[in-house]
Structure 1
Amino acid sequence: MLLFGENIKTVGSLSLLVSLPTMLVAFARYSRDGSFAVLGANRRFALVLAAGSVAGAVLGGLLLGVFPDAVLIPVLAVILLVSAAKLARHD
């Protein structure tokens, strides 16, 4: 966004597009070596995370056309700063 001067909605969409091949390759590799077995032991937690992810993606997609860039950019900046602060404090 900052480098090419694109709007936040285009950048978000392109970010998802670029991430998709990486996620597919990772899913294939994890599936082959049995790494998903841990999900069976934590089924409820995995289902809650999956449901939250789907709900967040649907809600975000619906709200995308509602809010202008001038609102989205500061909100996303705050979310990133809070996430960075929580990550920095994590032991």
Structure 2
Amino acid sequence: MPLGFVSDHMEVMWDLDEEAMETAEEHGLAAVRVPTPGIHPAYVAGLVDLVLERVNGTPSAERPHVTDLGPWYDVCRPGCCENVRAGFKPALAGIAP
């Protein structure tokens, strides 16, 4: 599940708890805010696992995953981005995809 915010802070609380809920109500939509993970033990353990995988150089194919999609890539696979095909060559930490 993608995370937009990892902790509750005033911006999240105002934007989501106040403005988003008010807008949803004005349009007759039901809305529920999912809590942010904050310091939930499973979330923190997942972050630790990600860091250790990178520090230990665990290859992507060997990283644990819970779906058939496998682990996510750290950088784009060669040729995967529309920008690359258009001639723009992005780089992450000096490493070209």
TM-score when normalising by structure 2? 0.27
Q: Which of structures 1 and 2 has the bigger CA Rg?
A: 2
TM-score when normalising by structure 1? 0.28
Higher helix share: 1
